[in-house]
Amino acid sequence: MFHNKSTTFMLKNIYKLPFFNREHCKKNIIENDIQKFIEEEIFVEYDELEEYSINDDKTVKPFLKWAGGKFKSLNDIKNLFPKNGKTYLEPFVGAGSIALNVDYEKIIVNDINSDLIQVYLCLQKDGIKFINECKKIFTKENNTRESYKKIKDEFNTSKDIYRKAVLFIYLNRHCFNGLCRYNRKGEFNTPIGKYGNPYFPESQMFSAIEKIEKFEIKNEDYKNIIDMAMEGDIVYCDPPYIPLSESAYFDAYSKEKFTLKNQIELAESASMAAERGAIVLISNHCNWYSRQIYTEMYGGKVKMFDVSRTISSNIEQRKAVKELIATFSPKK
């Protein structure tokens, strides 16, 4: 069988997983399975949020484009949350599709990406003033390859956190597919996208202000946040997807990678929080690996559903991808 670099990576890693059982999974079956997953995953691209709307006045649409954003699954996910809860914690908040649309007394949001977190903090502190500052650089003159490079360079060298937050909104809307990708040096390195008139998410930012005012915002590793969860709390986790191959898997939201080991540790933290009396929900791709980790290894309950995704850069072509939500229910 032909092995490309991705297959070799996956094979190398799958053998390290504690649940891998050579007796039950003959090598050729695993190889075919992996090749199939890689073919499926490689062509999945990120969604154009503007095309999608939920017809409901109260729903807050995220103002950032974000890989793996869950806005389209908002209702499927929220339906699994208990109506009442003490504190809602979201350790991988990204663009906040879910956090911006829940209504609990206390909401703690977190992400490892400090550029993203600065945007939330600036919006929380300065509201309309921050929005107006961001709007100023959405000009025709700034929608060229040269201007994009200049602004990207300024972002990568600036020490002014407020200015960086302003530039982050520009980059998010002008870069390729809204991808927030960093190189090993921690520099933002996504190329420019092809947008005739990049959209400034003014109304989305306005609607978010009221919600963000209530947030307690953190910039730590997810584990510290799950460890805070106690009896009666609700934790929703949306980590980078389970890796299927080096090239198919997008986990460059920050210069630190989210590895297979992290995925297993996340499930372990979730089941420990459930022991303390919290309910923990985790979203991920639905595949053999995620099911093994959440159900076989840590005893979670899994619900599957279809999500429509844009394939390649062609927004006409869509395909349904299976996702899951694993629930770890309170043990006391």
Kindly list the residues in this chain that would bind ligand SAM in the complex (CB under 6 A). Answer: 62, 66, 68-70, 91-92, 94-98, 111-113, 221-222, 238-240, 253-254, 258
| Neighbouring C-alpha atoms within 13 Å toward the C-beta of 105 | 6
Q: How far is the CB of 241 from ligand SAM (least distance, A)?
A: 7
Choose between 33 and 214: whose C-beta lies nearer to ligand SAM.
Answer: 214
Choose between 91 and 300: whose C-beta lies nearer to ligand SAM.
Answer: 91
Residues 53, 75: Cα–Cα separation, whole Å: 12
Q: Do 152 and 181 contact (CB within 8 A), yes or no?
A: no
Q: Do 85 and 235 contact (CB within 8 A), yes or no?
A: no
Q: How far is the CB of 318 from ligand SAM (least distance, A)?
A: 19
Query: Tokens 């599709």 identify what position?
Result: 97
Q: How far is the CB of 204 from ligand SAM (least distance, A)?
A: 13
Q: How far is the CB of 238 from ligand SAM (least distance, A)?
A: 4
Cα end-to-end distance, the chain, whole Å: 50
Q: How far is the CB of 134 from ligand SAM (least distance, A)?
A: 18
Q: How far is the CB of 116 from ligand SAM (least distance, A)?
A: 6
Choose between 73 and 292: whose C-beta lies nearer to ligand SAM.
Answer: 73
Q: Do 285 and 242 contact (CB within 8 A), yes or no?
A: yes
Choose between 35 and 253: whose C-beta lies nearer to ligand SAM.
Answer: 253
Which two tokens mark 274?
């459930």
Amino acid at position 320, single letter: A
Strand partners, 284: 324
Q: Do 261 and 249 contact (CB within 8 A), yes or no?
A: no
Residues 254, 267: Cα–Cα separation, whole Å: 21
Q: Do 113 and 67 contact (CB within 8 A), yes or no?
A: no
Choose between 35 and 90: whose C-beta lies nearer to ligand SAM.
Answer: 90
Which two tokens mark 58?
């109260």
Tell me the residue length of the chain.
332
Amino acid at position 236, single letter: Y
Q: How far is the CB of 73 from ligand SAM (least distance, A)?
A: 9
Longest Cα separation, the chain: 62
Choose between 13 and 283: whose C-beta lies nearer to ligand SAM.
Answer: 283
Residues 171, 189: Cα–Cα separation, whole Å: 10
Choose between 7 and 49: whose C-beta lies nearer to ligand SAM.
Answer: 49
Output the residue with the shortest Cβ distance to ligand SAM.
94
Choose between 118 and 254: whose C-beta lies nearer to ligand SAM.
Answer: 254
Run of H or E residues at 93: none
Phi, psi of 138 (to 5 degrees): -85, 70
Q: How far is the CB of 235 from ligand SAM (least distance, A)?
A: 12
